[in-house]
Amino acid sequence: MRRNLLLVLAGALVFLVGAIHADPPFHFSSIDVPGAIATNAQGINAEGDIVGIYADTAGKQHGFLLRDGRFETIDFPGATLTNARGISPDGDIVGSYSTSVGTQPPASIHGFLLRLGNYSEVQFPGHLGTIAQRITPTGDILGCLHDTDLMGTMSGFMRTEGDYSSIPGIPASMNNGATPDGNHVVGLYTDMMTGVSHGYTIDFGIMTSFDVPGSIATNGWDINPERDIVGVFVDANKVTHGFLRSTGEDRSDGSLSLQSDGNYTTIDYPGATATRAFGINPEREIVGAYVDSANKTHGFLLSRR
């Protein structure tokens, strides 16, 4: 009887230790810039700082930084619109801006880097337009270049130590994220023959396309050091969802009704008509945007904090 009691106590101790070390559940938080008519969260760093885009009551687009619960507006000097898209662990911010009015031609869109309060331009040499999407901890910048249009002449690029390189032979591509060492890149491209978009990875220079199972369109938007990937897909019913593609254990949480299909987990903000996941950090915190039943766009954070 004493042996049985010891086994029961040992089992209780194992359960207690497991409970102490169990991961807390994920939960969603909505992000809205005060007074904005639309908010879109684009990137998050290891510190939990979030950058994105918002539209004011006049419809003008601005970048924003959310740090320690406080919002800061980001406007490139003289720009008619500014989009903040990525943030490094040191707080360097990249994005895009335009100085034209009305419809934005590719030639008017340029990338920027905001470092220690100072703006500098990110522009691929010999091309008309550039979008800076992400910046790594080592300062590498990723995005896409454009010439005469926003699709056929789009090509993914990376800037490393001031040197630019693009993806040869893959039109309509965009590099959206990379691991800190730059050996693993995630992005998206559109097949110009079919009009269907796909995600891709570039691992040590080898490009591989991927699609969320059952999707009719897939976009890869970010990757963390563990090579978890987030992005957007459209299902057969033409509903837009976010996704997490995990290379490790499945850490989806049933309380959120996240549906896992192998290594892919669907991300849907509760009650939303559309959800898009754009950024992920080393802590596996995810940011993006969702559309509510009133057709208003909000940012979101999916985290355990």
What are the extents of the domains in the chain? 29-303
Question: Shortest CA distance to 297 belongs to which of 276, 267, 270?
Answer: 276
Q: For residue 184, how many other CB atoms are within 10 A of its CB?
A: 18
Q: Supply φ then ψ for residue 234, to 5 degrees.
A: -115, 130
Q: For residue 155, how many other CB atoms are within 10 A of its CB?
A: 22
Q: Render each residue's pLDDT in the chain as its tens digit; 305 residues.
A: 433 433 332 333 222 222 233 345 789 999 999 999 999 999 999 999 999 999 999 999 999 999 999 999 999 999 999 999 999 999 999 999 998 866 566 778 999 999 999 999 999 999 999 999 999 999 999 999 988 877 778 999 999 998 999 987 788 999 999 999 999 999 999 998 899 999 999 999 999 999 999 999 999 999 999 999 999 999 999 999 999 998 754 444 443 434 445 589 999 999 999 999 999 999 999 999 999 999 999 999 999 76
Q: Supply φ then ψ for residue 107, to 5 degrees.
A: -65, -20
Long-range contacts of 145-148 (CB under 8 A, 24+ apart): 146/106, 146/107, 146/109, 147/106, 147/107, 148/106
Q: For residue 200, how many other CB atoms are within 10 A of its CB?
A: 23
Cα dist. 182→11, 61, 103 in Å?
45, 30, 34
3-state helix, strand, coil in the chain (%, to 5): 10, 50, 45
**What burial class does residue 159 get, using C-beta atoms within 10 Å of its C-beta: 0-12 exposed, 13-18 middle, 19+ buried?**
buried
**What burial class does residue 228 get, using C-beta atoms within 10 Å of its C-beta: 0-12 exposed, 13-18 middle, 19+ buried?**
buried
Strand ordering across the sheet containing 38-44: 38-44, 50-55, 61-67, 70-74
Superfamily name and number for 29-303: TolB, C-terminal domain (2.120.10.30)
